[in-house]
Amino acid sequence: MLSAGVRSGREQNDPAEKHRESTMTTPELKGAPLLVVGAGLMGAGIAQVAAQAGHAVQLFDTREGAAEQAKAGLAATLDGLVAKGKMGTDDANATLARIAPIASLAAGGSAHLVVEAIVEDLGIKRALFRQLEAVVAPGCVLATNTSSISVTALAAGLAHPGRLVGMHFFNPVPLMKLVEVVSGLHTEPAVAEAVFALAGAWGKVPVHARSTPGFIVNRIARPYYAEALALLLEQAATPQVLDACLRAAGFRMGPCELMDLIGHDTNFAVTQSVYEANFFDKRFMPSLVQREMVEGGLLGRKSGRGFYRYPEGVPPLPVAVHEAPATAREVTVHGEGAVADFLEQAATLALAAQGWGPARLRDSAWVGVEIDGARLVLTTGRTAGEIAVQEGPADVAVFDRPLALTASAGLPTGLPPGTALAYALAPQAGPAWRTQSAAWLAALGFTPLPLADTPGLVVARTVAMLVNEAADAVLQGVCTPAGADAAMKLGVNYPAGPFEWLAHWSATEVLALLDALDAQYRGERYRASPWLRRQALL
Ligand code: NAI
């Protein structure tokens, strides 16, 4: 039986603190009987995982026959696992035998844990939890798989609101490791701990989150889509170019192909719900580009057309052939750090055939390569046009951050040859530099992809915004930096976590990039997190 506890303000504001200081005994949920309500996509997956972990699982759905249908579907899934040699026949039979569809909620009274995975509607979910309180024992933990509704709001009005917690799985449940354990204002720390331990016992990686719009993943991931849509809105690049750049940075899918996969209606709805839940903070404003697609029925893969046509999918980028750069008199690599080191190696290789090498100016205000006075500059957020105006030379091109060089622990000395990289020319650049800038990037080992002269280009801008959102989540006690990193890597397969990127970039540089974006766009979207600003001071 759960007792109500008194929690300090500090506990309420810091989920980590809250869980450490809990005095209540943690309910033991391992092996406990379970009731899953909602036998759709997620409910069926949750039932499978729980049954595989040895729980007796009852399954209930208001749609007649849905629970039986889900069980039949799971039988086929388990057969498939047996056929692939991933599970023994006895194991599969035992797993299936643990799942019992029930015809009424009243039959679920013996559950120690209920996981709710019904329709995403506050009123309907609230009504269900009230109904459940009349059925289950007062000590039974109630978990919701909601992806967007406030856990605090769901618990309001319950007789024992402290037992309600978010247990946010990702689709497909059996494969995705992440579970966000979401605490609302009412949630007893011991309840969150129990669900956290249970998810771990199921082979998942649980991460504590405070109930705030989008929780961790759906909040921090917003800029991955938003920045691509913003670049498309201003005609800076095609979806193909954006996808190629972010794939080259290590993301498994580019933002446009990913939105096509998720479905633009679903993606737009999540963005809209986060926007509305934040009192229409412009930082989360949905995109006109996506709204038009939804209105036009261009929903992505499921409708046969989104940014791309299906089943064809992403067409290959047109192959551009770059000639070797014209002979230069002077080549100097500017700056310090992994990118400058890589450029020095690459320029040395490129010039070796001519029997000479680049100079290196470590003490420089910028990172990049200077070729007979023309500049290839690693983006800091200033556009090529701004650099040309502020610093003199007309022949300026900025290039995107080669993230794979700096994203992970242990600096590699190279990038796969032909790594796609966005670059942009200053409008003032002369005709020779227009071809030579691309020729040089190609000679340095990149596949240069031209972009309009926009601040932060593609990867730098997107990653800076992901870091910024993660920083704000930490500022607001939604999660810890380690929690954010785990959540983004496991929930959406990011190649690294935002704070891992930050460790190999720097708070000062990320902040400078965000401030440059803010100066260009003059809105709320690029408002830097105070957490990042404080970090930069250190
Ligand atoms: P779904 O539509 O596949 O399944 C929902 C099921 O709930 C349906 O079978 C429906 O008949 C049943 N249902 C509706 N009202 C009910 C009630 N009052 N009592 C019992 N059963 C009821 O939906 P899906 O995708 O499984 O989503 C379920 C929940 O999981 C939602 O809250 C959703 O936001 C959340 N979620 C969904 C993810 C996804 O990728 N689909 C990912 C993470 C969370």
Do 261 and 191 lie in one domain? The reply is no
Q: Which of 252, 279, 303 is the last residue of a domain?
A: 303
Domain total in the chain? 2
Backbone angles phi, psi at 452, to 5 degrees: -65, 160
Sheet holding 419-425, edge to edge: 359-361, 331-334, 368-371, 374-378, 396-399, 419-425, 446-450
In degrees, rounded to 5, the angle at the alpha carbon of residue 252 between the alpha carbons of residues 247 and 258 is 90
* pLDDT value for 3: 36
d(CA 116, ligand 1 centre) in Å: 8
| Residue ranges of E strands in 354-394 | 359-361, 368-371, 374-378
Backbone angles phi, psi at 435, to 5 degrees: -90, -35
- CATH code of the domain covering residue 298: 1.10.1040.50
Q: Which residue has the higher pLDDT, 503 or 414?
A: 503
Whether 341 is in a domain gets the answer no
Do 48 and 145 lie in one domain? The reply is yes
Question: Average of pLDDT values for 30-56?
Answer: 97
147 is catalytic: yes
* pLDDT value for 24: 64
Do 127 and 246 lie in one domain? The reply is no
The pLDDT tens digits for 156-207 are: 999 999 999 999 999 999 999 999 999 999 999 999 999 999 999 999 999 9
208 is catalytic: no
Q: Which of 171, 187, 211 is the last residue of a domain?
A: 211
Whether 272 is in a domain gets the answer yes
Question: Average of pLDDT values for 302-316?
Answer: 96
Of 116, 133, 180, 370, which is the active-site residue? Answer: 180
Q: Which of 283-287, 373-377, 465-469, 503-507 has the lowest mean pLDDT?
A: 503-507
- Indicate if ligand 1 lies below 6 Å from the C-beta of 39: yes
Q: Which amino acid is at 253?
A: M
Q: Which residue has the higher pLDDT, 419 or 11?
A: 419
Do 231 and 205 lie in one domain? The reply is no
Do 187 and 270 lie in one domain? The reply is no
Average model confidence (pLDDT) across the chain? 92
Q: Which atom of ligand 1 is nearest to the CA of 125?
A: 18
* pLDDT value for 10: 35
- Indicate if ligand 1 lies below 6 Å from the C-beta of 73: no
Question: Average of pLDDT values for 55-70?
Answer: 97
* pLDDT value for 382: 96
- Indicate if ligand 1 lies below 6 Å from the C-beta of 63: yes
Whether 106 is in a domain gets the answer yes
Do 185 and 226 lie in one domain? The reply is no
266 strand-pairing partners: none
Do 183 and 225 lie in one domain? The reply is no
Residue 8: pLDDT above 60?
Answer: no
Q: Which of 303, 330, 348 is the last residue of a domain?
A: 303
Task: Quickly list DSSP for 166-206.
Answer: EEEE-SSTTT--EEEEEE-SS--HHHHHHHHHHHHHTT-EE
In this structure, are residues 359 and 331 in contact, taking their beta carbons and an 8 Å threshold? yes
**Residue 403 binned pLDDT confidence (cut-offs 50, 70, 90):** confident
Burial degree of 417 (CB within 10 A; 0-12, 13-18, 19+): exposed
Dist CA 398 CA 130 (whole Å)? 58
Dist CA 485 CA 56 (whole Å)? 33
d(CA 144, ligand 1 centre) in Å: 10
- Indicate if ligand 1 lies below 6 Å from the C-beta of 77: no
Q: Which residue has the higher pLDDT, 297 or 319?
A: 297
Do 271 and 150 lie in one domain? The reply is no
Whether 382 is in a domain gets the answer no
Dist CA 472 CA 213 (whole Å)? 12
Decide: helix, strand or coil at residue 503. helix
Query: Which of 46, 64, 118 has most ligand 1 atoms within 8 Å of its beta carbon, as the pocket-test mutant?
Result: 118
Whether 334 is in a domain gets the answer no
Whether 84 is in a domain gets the answer yes
Residue of minimum CA distance from atom 28 in ligand 1? 117
pTM for the predicted model, two decimal places: 0.92
Question: Average of pLDDT values for 420-425?
Answer: 97
The pLDDT tens digits for 77-98 are: 999 999 999 999 999 999 999 9
* pLDDT value for 20: 44
* pLDDT value for 6: 28
Sheet holding 164-169, edge to edge: 99-101, 57-60, 34-37, 113-116, 141-144, 164-169, 178-183, 205-210
d(CA 225, ligand 1 centre) in Å: 24
Residue 16: pLDDT above 50?
Answer: no
What number of H helices and E strands is found in the chain? 22, 15
* pLDDT value for 320: 85
- Indicate if ligand 1 lies below 6 Å from the C-beta of 282: no
- CATH code of the domain covering residue 63: 3.40.50.720
Do 67 and 153 lie in one domain? The reply is yes
* pLDDT value for 414: 63
Do 89 and 10 lie in one domain? The reply is yes
* pLDDT value for 18: 47
Question: Average of pLDDT values for 332-351?
Answer: 93
* pLDDT value for 1: 35
Do 182 and 285 lie in one domain? The reply is no
Which residues constitute the domain of residue 272?
A: 218-303
Residue 50: pLDDT above 90?
Answer: yes
Q: Which amino acid is at 335?
A: G
* pLDDT value for 170: 96
The pLDDT tens digits for 117-165 are: 999 999 999 999 999 999 999 999 999 999 999 999 999 999 999 999 9
Segment holding 223, helix H or strand E: helix 222-233
3-class SS string, 465-487: HHHHHHHHHHHCCCCCHHHHHHH
Whether 386 is in a domain gets the answer no
Q: Which of 109-118, 250-259, 401-410 has the lowest mean pLDDT?
A: 401-410
**Residue 406 binned pLDDT confidence (cut-offs 50, 70, 90):** low
Dist CA 327 CA 424 (whole Å)? 22
Whether 287 is in a domain gets the answer yes
Do 268 and 180 lie in one domain? The reply is no
* pLDDT value for 193: 97
